[in-house]
């Protein structure tokens, strides 16, 4: 067996006999005492070791190489000896003496599906994205030939340790479902991420450091949820992400187990709103159970907890979009309210008769109507950047539209109706050269790609929480600190003032100046949890996987007789719009709904761009990282049936 030595010590001069006792391993009494303390501390109703897929060892000889901390960690020996050829596994990672079967995890994973930190040989070009079929290109064969399907316990994701109906669910992972992209398979394994570093001391028993608590003490009541247990362990290595496993991810979203009209739900309406992971749902419940209070200005404990949770959510947004300071983050109800806030504060102060505001033909109504209202009030002019027949901005026309009369450029980063990705860096740079302020609508971009507002250079950036796997009724306005300080308040009342007399009022600095009254505290906290969730998955992983779904679906949809794709820009997010001969979009949407497939059918609050393309409505499936190629196949099959019916 491999011997553990202090860091920096020299290796032995000769091989260590296999029967040599492991150094620095606690004695049996200590092991039993620590294990007993941990499992005794579990809330009632939570199962023991067996529910984690690990049986209690019969003796110290059956323990894994690294001893779990008091919180419990996943043993590194997650691949049973004997299930993997010894020639393919480094001797430093597998004990040489036999391990009792009762001491190893019950899930056995083929070596081709467990990343080891180095990407396998691949014939594809670096950075190329293949269209996956449940995270793998169709027909892909792993190195060494095909491997059998395996059943993987679903406890590795953020799922409860038990369910009302029995033990945790399992998901059957086929060999074809293993993602073979070098970027993903080169990431550390789930076991590596969940196992604490060897030099990290275990946290004090009974004092887990939950991510949402300011202080190290345990919560007022035990939380019967594996999410908090795993979250405390994951945060030991916050910069490392497990490999993307769509089956494990799907287990994090309770609503995906719903059935609609007798069929499993397929949620392809993500551009309208996204589903919520269990961690977000539980975080909001925890807030109301343990932290609920109005924020600020109180001396009691719950006000402190609530304020801490709210401001931590602001900090999470700051980190997520790359803002310079939390003082640049304003909480609002959503992107729509955010744009209206900017129009009614910055716009009313700075826009005058004869000034010009530029938007694009791709915009959602929320980035059109507020500017129309402001122009009607001030006498300013609203001008539109045109698009080509593929739904791409004509940047030469944009350059010609800019002038010294241009005061604001406000454009979307991703079209909600077509999925077109716009060149926001260039748009903002040109606006600034013309002396204008730039606003970017990021409602459709933040769920799909990493955003850095300082890199973009935008003066304003807005997005909605419910499109980012967070709650409804919460959104964000980012404003450059200098621009925000120059803006007057929008609404008056409590929280946004520093002093009030009957003769005058003094206002808080940003962001408090723009958050009058009691805000949506719980849902802001839920948004923070949603950001934590997608950051654990990794935005690069999300972007890569969703792009694979788009590349898988696009040619299959285009090949259906009578289908016309709407919006075929070269650079797109995971949105597909189409129309179908012989059917109104609403008819197609209803037919798909009969099979449990949810898509949006209509104008998508983007009538100008659809009319530019000669349409009043489209069918719009839109994908998220919890969708699969099998679900796309279900949709394609039903659309092919509809196409045959009108021949």
What is the per-residue pLDDT across 429-442, written as a single tens digit (0 to 9) for each? 999 999 999 999 99
Domain containing residue 524:
290-486+516-536
Residue 189 resides in a domain: no
How far, rounded to the nearest angstrom, does the alpha carbon of residue 110 sit from its chain's CA centroid?
28
Which of 536, 571, 606 delimits the end of a domain? 536
Percentage of the chain modeled with pLDDT above 70 = 63
316 with 294, same domain: the answer is yes
pLDDT at 375 over 70: yes
pTM assigned to the model: 0.66
> Would you call 632 helix, strand, or coil by DSSP?
helix
Write down the catalytic residue from 605, 612, 615, 638.
605
pLDDT at residue 32 in the model? 58
Q: Which residue has the higher pLDDT, 23 or 444?
A: 444
How far, rounded to the nearest angstrom, does the alpha carbon of residue 496 sit from its chain's CA centroid?
31
Residue 141 resides in a domain: no
pLDDT at 198 over 50: no
> CATH number, domain at 560?
3.90.1150.10
pLDDT at 203 over 60: no
462 with 551, same domain: the answer is no
Tell me, yes or no, if 629 is annotated catalytic.
no
Residue 583 resides in a domain: yes
Pairing of strands 356-360, 406-412: parallel
Residue 412 resides in a domain: yes
Q: Provide the domain count of the chain.
A: 2
322 with 447, same domain: the answer is yes
pLDDT category of residue 3 using cuts at 50, 70 and 90: very low
470 with 446, same domain: the answer is yes
Q: What is the pLDDT of residues 219-276, one digit of tens each?
A: 444 333 333 323 333 333 343 445 789 999 999 999 999 999 999 999 999 999 999 9
Mean pLDDT, rounded, for 64-86: 37
Q: What is the pLDDT of residues 473-507, one digit of tens each?
A: 999 999 999 999 999 999 999 989 999 999 999 99
Q: In this predicted structure, which of 47-51, 316-320, 397-401, 603-607 has the lowest mean pLDDT?
A: 47-51
Contact 379, 352 (CB under 8 A): yes
Q: What distance in Å separates the CA atoms of residue 386 and residue 388, rounded to the nearest whole number? A: 7
Q: What distance in Å separates the CA atoms of residue 134 and residue 524, rounded to the nearest whole number? A: 33
369 with 412, same domain: the answer is yes
- The burial class, CB within 10 Å (0-12 / 13-18 / 19+), for 203 is middle
Q: What is the pLDDT of residues 282-330, one digit of tens each?
A: 999 999 999 999 998 778 999 999 999 999 999 999 999 999 999 999 9
Which of 473, 501, 536 delimits the end of a domain? 536
Residue 313 resides in a domain: yes
pLDDT category of residue 199 using cuts at 50, 70 and 90: very low
600 with 525, same domain: the answer is no
360 with 388, same domain: the answer is yes
pLDDT at residue 298 in the model? 79
531 with 543, same domain: the answer is no
pLDDT at 149 over 80: no
464 with 565, same domain: the answer is no
């Amino acid at each position: 067996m491999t011997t553990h030595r202090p860091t920096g010590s020299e290796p032995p001069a000769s091989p260590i006999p296999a029967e040599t006792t492991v150094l620095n391993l606690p004695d049996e009494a200590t092991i039993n005492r620590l294990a007993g303390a941990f499992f005794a501390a579990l809330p009632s109703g939570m199962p023991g070791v067996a529910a984690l897929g690990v049986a209690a060892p019969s003796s110290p000889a059956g323990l894994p190489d690294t001893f779990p901390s008091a919180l419990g960690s996943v043993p590194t020996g997650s691949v049973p000896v004997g299930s993997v050829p010894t020639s393919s596994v480094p001797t430093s990672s597998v004990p040489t003496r036999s391990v009792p079967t009762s001491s190893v995890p019950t899930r056995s994973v083929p070596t081709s599906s467990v990343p080891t930190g180095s990407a396998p040989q691949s014939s594809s070009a670096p950075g190329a994205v293949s269209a996956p079929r449940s995270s793998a290109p169709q027909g892909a064969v792993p190195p060494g030939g095909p491997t059998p399907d395996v059943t993987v316990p679903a406890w590795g994701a953020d799922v409860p340790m038990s369910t009302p109906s029995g033990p945790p669910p399992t998901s059957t992972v086929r060999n074809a479902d293993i993602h073979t992209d070098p970027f993903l398979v080169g990431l550390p394994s789930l076991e590596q991420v969940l196992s604490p570093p060897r030099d990290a001391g275990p946290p004090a028993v009974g004092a887990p450091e939950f991510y949402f608590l300011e202080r190290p003490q345990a919560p007022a009541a035990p939380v019967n949820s594996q999410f908090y247990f795993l979250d405390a362990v994951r945060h030991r290595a916050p910069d490392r992400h497990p490999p993307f496993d769509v089956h494990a991810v799907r287990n994090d979203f309770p609503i995906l187990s719903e059935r609609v009209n007798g069929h499993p739900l397929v949620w392809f309406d993500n551009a309208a709103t996204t589903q919520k992971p269990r961690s977000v749902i539980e975080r909001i419940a925890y807030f109301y159970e343990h932290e609920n209070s109005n924020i600020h200005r109180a001396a009691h404990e719950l006000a402190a907890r609530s304020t801490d949770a709210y401001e931590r959510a602001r900090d999470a947004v700051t980190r997520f979009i790359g803002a310079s300071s939390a003082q640049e983050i304003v909480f609002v109800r959503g992107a729509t309210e955010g744009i209206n806030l900017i129009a009614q504060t910055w716009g009313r102060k700075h826009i005058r008769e004869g000034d010009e505001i530029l938007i694009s033909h791709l915009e959602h109504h929320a980035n059109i109507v507020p500017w129309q209202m402001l122009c009607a009030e001030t006498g300013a002019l609203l001008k539109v950047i045109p698009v080509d027949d593929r739904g791409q901005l004509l940047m030469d026309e944009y350059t010609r539209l800019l002038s010294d009369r241009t005061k604001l450029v406000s454009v979307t980063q991703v079209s909600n109706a077509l999925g077109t990705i716009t060149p926001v860096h260039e748009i903002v740079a040109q606006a600034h050269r013309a002396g204008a302020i730039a606003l970017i609508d990021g409602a459709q971009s933040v769920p799909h790609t990493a955003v850095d507002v300082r890199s973009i250079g935008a003066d304003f950036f807005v997005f909605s929480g419910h499109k980012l796997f967070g709650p409804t009724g919460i959104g964000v306005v980012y404003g450059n600190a200098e621009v925000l300080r120059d803006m007057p308040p929008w609404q008056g009342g409590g929280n946004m003032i520093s002093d009030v007399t009957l003769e005058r009022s003094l206002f808080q600095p940003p962001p408090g100046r723009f958050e009058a009254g009691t805000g949506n505290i719980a849902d802001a906290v839920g948004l923070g949890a949603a950001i934590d969730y997608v950051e654990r998955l990794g935005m690069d992983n999300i972007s890569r996987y969703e792009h694979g779904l788009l590349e898988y679906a696009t040619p299959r949809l285009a090949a259906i007789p009578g289908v016309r794709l709407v919006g075929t820009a070269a650079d797109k997010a995971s949105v597909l719009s189409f129309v179908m001969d012989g059917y109104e979009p609403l008819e197609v949407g209803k037919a798909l709904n009969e099979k449990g497939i949810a898509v949006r059918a209509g104008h998508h609050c983007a009538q100008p761009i659809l009319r530019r393309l000669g349409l009043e409505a489209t069918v719009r499936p839109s994908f998220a990282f919890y969708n699969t190629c099998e679900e796309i196949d279900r949709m394609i099959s039903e659309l092919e049936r509809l196409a045959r019916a009108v021949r």
